Amino acid sequence: QVQLVESGGGSVQPGGSLRLSCAASGSFFSLSVISWYRQAPGKERELVAEITTGSTTNYADAVQGRFTISRDNAKNTAYLQMNSLKPEDTAVYFCKHRLIGTVTWGQGTQVTVSS
């Protein structure tokens, strides 16, 4: 059973940066697809970024060019580097781990962008 622990959220002013981490327990991390989602109050959860087993990345249009997803298979950890943050990036950010059809979600970490 995979468990995910997210960290790195917090409060930042517009234009600032944060780096989120998603640490996974268990084996075969390198074979998993890792995604970051976010959910703002009153809105549906949306995909932010995804990284495949071959480190191919995909981004939502809203974050393209500002956010970077990466992974360190030796540390069983994925990251989301968020730059040029905007108030509309405020949300709870969730990490999702998918391995051979089994999906696991993290508990979420709050990101607040406000002046």
Give the strand pairing for 102-105 and 77-82: unpaired
Reply yes or no on whether the pLDDT at 26 is more than 90. Answer: no
For 68-84, what is the mean pLDDT?
97
- The chain-wide mean pLDDT, for the chain, equals 96
User: Cα torsion for 24, 29, 32, 36, to the nearest 10°?
Assistant: 30
For 17-32, what is the mean pLDDT?
94
- Provide the pLDDT for residue 71: 97
pLDDT tens digits, one per residue of 50-73: 999 999 999 999 999 999 999 999
